[in-house]
Copies of this chain bind each other. A is one copy, B any other.
Amino acid sequence: MAEPDPLATPRIQLAHGGGGTLMQQLIDGELRRLYADPHQVLHDAARLSLPHGRLAFTTDSYVVHPLEFEGGDIGSLAVTGTANDLAMAGARPLVLSLGLILEEGLEIALLRRIVSSLVEAARRCGVSIVTGDTKVVERGKGDGAFLNTSGIGLLQVDDPMDPLAIVPGDQLVVSGDLGRHGVAILAARHGLDLQPPLASDCMPLWPAVEALLAAGVRLHCLRDLTRGGLASALQELAAPNSLELQIEEACLPVAEPVRRTCELLGFDPLHLANEGRFLAVVPEADQERALAVLAPAGGTWIGRVAPGPPRGRVLLRTPFGSERVLIPLSGELLPRIC
């Protein structure tokens, strides 16, 4: 008695997650091409052959809604986002794991597009997907697909780059313009017909970090500007060392169509998520070198670090010379943007 061919089955069934022949067919038909080494799928765990050195390890789950949007999908996000978290720790991304939680009824054609996107993003980020897992939940108990990627990278810096390394006098540089990813998700979610369409900024950040290190820039801290946008990142960096981050509002780079869409809808680009932008905190002496690396792709100086009150604060200086303290949001303006 022949099993039904999953390629002829347009939708994911519960049995695709059951460890039986249907799951094997899903792996063979759709998922095996994720792996550089197809032998890998025989194992529960990958045996790694990594270059010698100290490692960084990170994880992120992806629940973006909708699954596809202008300039990317949950697949490109899942690879790029986790690779970028490694880059933010000063580590060259090497290998990723991939956990899929699929909802019964997911179109297999959509899964196939996500897998293609995962493969392509891994190529762009220079990482290999080496181990994975697939689960299926009943219709109505998930939302199409949730992904988790965990990543291992090779540390290229000796000093920890984290908020505790930031000191008064440091300068703040962002790697490009703000808010494109958030607007792309907003447009996809609400069927906004932006002309021309605004694509997510989703892109690998390691090349820019590597260029900064090669230029001898001392990186006190890097932070990607994802959930909560630049505003959340600044709040998080200000708190641990009780710093005041002084931002020049006029210097914040926001593309005209993003600004226009934000005005229309009442969003602030400062709070919108990005998936291919980061904030670099560098000593004043290294600011010019950092900008020499980042400016060609839109990198801009946006402010400086000063001593602040306990738990820190973020100060916005308007073009008119007035100042306002940025109030931390309790949540996110747009849930599920990554």
- Chain A residues packing against B (C-beta within 8 Å): 3-4, 13-24, 39, 42-50, 54-63, 65, 85-86, 88-89, 91, 95, 97-101, 130-133, 135-138, 140-143, 146, 148, 150-153, 155, 160, 162-164, 223-224, 226-228, 232, 236, 240, 328-332, 335-336
Give the dominant DSSP class at A's interface.
mixed
Structural contact, A152 and B155, CB atoms closer than 8 A: no
Q: Which residues of chain B come closer than 8 Å to A39, judged between CB atoms?
A: 164
Structural contact, A61 and B99, CB atoms closer than 8 A: yes
- Given A18-B329, A19-B228, A240-B42, residue A131 in contact with residue B57 (CB < 8 A): yes
Contact among B91, B100, B138, B228 with A335 in the assembled complex (CB-CB below 8 Å): B138
The residue in chain B whose Cβ has the minimal distance to the Cβ of A328 is B21
Give A136 to B227 CA distance when docked, in angstroms. Answer: 12
Give A56 to B47 CA distance when docked, in angstroms. Answer: 5
Distance (Å) between the CB of A297 and the closest chain B CB? 21
Q: Which residues of chain B come closer than 8 Å to A23, judged between CB atoms?
A: 331
Structural contact, A332 and B58, CB atoms closer than 8 A: no
Structural contact, A135 and B63, CB atoms closer than 8 A: yes
Please name the 6 residue pairs, one residue from A and one from B, whose CB atoms are nearest each other, closest first: A15-B331, A18-B332, A19-B228, A18-B331, A19-B227, A150-B150
Contact among B19, B47, B95 with A89 in the assembled complex (CB-CB below 8 Å): B47
Distance (Å) between the CB of A329 and the closest chain B CB? 4
Structural contact, B45 and A56, CB atoms closer than 8 A: yes
Distance (Å) between the CB of A83 and the closest chain B CB? 11
A-B contact pairs, 19 of them (CB 8 A): A3-B330, A15-B331, A20-B328, A21-B330, A42-B164, A43-B89, A44-B223, A45-B56, A46-B58, A47-B56, A47-B155, A48-B56, A48-B57, A61-B133, A62-B135, A99-B99, A137-B143, A138-B335, A140-B140
- Given A55-B50, A146-B146, A160-B47, residue A136 in contact with residue B18 (CB < 8 A): no
- Given A18-B228, A19-B227, A63-B101, residue A45 in contact with residue B85 (CB < 8 A): yes
Structural contact, B133 and A42, CB atoms closer than 8 A: no
The residue in chain B whose Cβ has the minimal distance to the Cβ of A49 is B54
Q: Which residues of chain B come closer than 8 Å to A138, judged between CB atoms?
A: 335-336
Q: Which residues of chain B come closer than 8 Å to A91, judged between CB atoms?
A: 45
Structural contact, B54 and A137, CB atoms closer than 8 A: no
Besides the known contacts A45-B153, A137-B143, 17 further A-B residue pairs in the complex with CB atoms under 8 A apart: A14-B332, A18-B228, A18-B335, A19-B227, A20-B330, A21-B329, A22-B330, A44-B58, A44-B223, A45-B91, A47-B56, A47-B155, A47-B160, A57-B152, A59-B133, A62-B135, A146-B146
The residue in chain B whose Cβ has the minimal distance to the Cβ of A20 is B329
- Given A54-B47, A146-B146, A153-B45, residue A61 in contact with residue B135 (CB < 8 A): yes
- Given A59-B97, A59-B150, A160-B47, residue A137 in contact with residue B336 (CB < 8 A): yes
Structural contact, A89 and B59, CB atoms closer than 8 A: no
Residue of A17, A44, A101, A227 contacting most chain B CB atoms (<10 Å): A44
Contact among B45, B86, B336 with A86 in the assembled complex (CB-CB below 8 Å): B45
Structural contact, A59 and B162, CB atoms closer than 8 A: no
